[in-house]
Structure 1
């Protein structure tokens, strides 16, 4: 089909810049030298003054304290459910647990998100980003009920999930299929590996991925290979349908699953359901306990 003119990406670069600025401001308010009580060690990189990091035993990601993240709007189940602070589903997307977390997300945004925006525009990418982050927050709230979590990883994984479903739906128009698959796997492995550290939420990653995967079937399917706009079609040329039947089927199924998933998820969250009661090992997916840091299950 005829290639569309690439969009000029501005939304995701702006989000990346905003995340960096917010992290700097959060570290400024954290002020480890003043607020650290010393029970878990000394501040890291004290030469940075109030921008120095919490002791690695408390936060191995080189970032602020849990208390600071909470003040800035981190996701915390008790405050969402009992404190009626549903806005934390959104604010947590703009926060990061530390430099390692921030750099991993920025790297992924550059290699995944900006390409998405170039191809599909800021509206569709923005919708996927926000809804995936929200979907990740819902799954997180069902499993992470005693910890404070932050990060745009759920939204980022939503973009990865959307990219995967878009790849499956539009398989016939891709040239470098192996390269695309390797890129997907590399980004997913990197972010899941970072996700086993404290304050990073792999449940949000998983929830965001599946939300984005379904949204990709709805928002990112493209005309099949060989389709030509009617005004450009040569006389007597065979008429090729713009979309294949399976693309419509996937779209309808995805919409239904999204409606059911969001509805049931929110209902369970505000009823106080705890997913760990039905999965005794699931908490290990989001934090690997070591002698260097606690997980706070």
Structure 2
């Protein structure tokens, strides 16, 4: 698939990346440290925090926190992971299913994050991104795709999971609650989606 055709087939991914970058630029222009972020500023902008999100019933934070990031490295790694997953999976799922998977798994991940870390401020798209990889892995274990494609992409997914496990071991600040809940909710979503997809959908996966 040519680059231009591939980009045209992933409008939701590109829109999500654009929104995340615009929000990050806005936070930087309003004075937030672009390297480490600032918890108080992020709270004012819609970050996730148990006392506010649940106890004060500001549930909208489960959504807005997905577009906030605590530093340049945080957003770069997340957007790179989203771009890679979206490049292959969005053409298969198409925009509506892909958006649904992203939002649902992201919200589940964000809730799990603040439930487990009740005193921490949570931001980032990683829960939703892990959800997308969970959907991808689930579909790779079904007959939807050709056998050779399944083998190739299972290697990609395994590398992604392996690298994140290594990162989690050496980086105590990693939100494993969000990552794991996003990933496993993505697996469930993927198996549900499988029954709504056809062989023609599977054939849109290309390396």
Q: Which has the higher contact order (CA 8 A, sep 6+)?
A: 2
1:172 CA displacement: 6.2
Q: Which residue of 2 aligns with 1:63?
A: 36
* TM score, norm. by length of structure 2: 0.83
Contact 2:114 2:122 (8 Å CA) reproduced: no
Q: Which residue of 1 aligns with 2:136?
A: 163
Contact 2:144 2:199 (8 Å CA) reproduced: no
Larger Cα-atom Rg: 1
1:114 CA displacement: 2.4
Q: Which residue of 2 aligns with 1:26?
A: 27
The 1:190–1:19 alpha-carbon spacing in structure 2 relative to 1, beyond 3 Å, is farther
Distance in 1, matches of 2:172 and 2:40, equals 17
Q: Which residue of 1 aligns with 2:184?
A: 210
Contact 1:151 1:201 (8 Å CA) reproduced: no
Contact 2:144 2:198 (8 Å CA) reproduced: no
1:178 CA displacement: 3.3
The one-character-per-residue Cα deviations of 1:54-96 (angstroms, maximum 9, x if unpaired) are xxxxxxxx13211111111111011112211111110111111
* TM score, norm. by length of structure 1: 0.59
1:275-294 equivalences under 5 Å are none
1:9 CA displacement: 1.6
1:68-217 equivalences under 5 Å are 68-170=41-143, 173-193=146-166, 196=171, 198=173, 200-217=174-191
1:220 CA displacement: 3.3
**Runs of 5+ consecutive residues of structure 2 not aligned to the other structure:** 1-5, 201-207
**Runs of 5+ consecutive residues of structure 1 not aligned to the other structure:** 1-5, 32-51, 54-61, 226-297
- In angstroms, what is the RMSD of aligned CA positions? 2.3
Higher share of residues assigned helix: 2
